[in-house]
């Protein structure tokens, strides 16, 4: 099928859709026809509208394919090209106490109630790192 034939078919489908909407509105009177015609132009055929018939159809297909009812084609494409970062690999070498303390410290920093250690606490941590005991116990 040539691209021009596909455009002709799409144009016929859009024209048929518009004719159907206008015909069903004509049953309710001329005022309703004007309102439906405005909706068709401003929403259904407007490429910038999120209520565009092509945009809606593509999103319905995406939602059916992914099983996610809030997914759009754009969010699906973003997920394909921007995968989540993998979890860090845990090293196979033995973990030192300093690395464990640093990991605990990093977790504590992400806690909402994190408080920066005082200068005295930092002093005691450095003593501990150096292998010296706490002189204030």
Q: Where are the domains of the chain?
A: 3-81, 88-137
Helix (H, G, I), strand (E, B) or coil at 2: coil
What are the tens digits of pLDDT across the range 39-74? Answer: 766 677 677 777 777 788 888 888 888 888 888 888
Rounded CA gap, 73 and 63, in Å?
Answer: 8
What are the tens digits of pLDDT across the range 119-136? Answer: 888 888 888 888 887 777
Which residues have CB under 8 Å from 108's CB, separation 6+?
Answer: 114
Query: Which range in 36-40, 68-72, 90-94, 106-110 is most confidently predicted, on average pLDDT?
Result: 68-72
Rounded CA gap, 50 and 56, in Å?
Answer: 7
Least confident of 22-36, 48-62, 80-94: 22-36
């Amino acid at each position: 099928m040539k691209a021009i034939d596909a455009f002709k078919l799409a144009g016929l489908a859009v024209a048929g859709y518009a004719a159907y909407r206008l015909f069903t509105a004509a049953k309710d009177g001329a005022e309703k026809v004007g309102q439906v015609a405005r909706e068709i132009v401003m929403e259904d055929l407007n490429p910038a509208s999120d209520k565009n018939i092509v945009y809606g159809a593509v999103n319905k297909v995406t939602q059916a394919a992914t099983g996610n009812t809030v997914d759009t084609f754009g969010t699906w494409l973003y997920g394909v090209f921007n995968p989540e970062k993998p979890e860090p690999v845990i090293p196979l070498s033995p973990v030192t106490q300093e690395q464990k303390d640093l990991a605990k410290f990093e977790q504590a920093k992400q806690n909402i109630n994190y408080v920066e250690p005082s200068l005295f606490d930092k002093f005691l941590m450095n003593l501990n790192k150096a292998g010296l005991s706490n002189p204030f116990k």
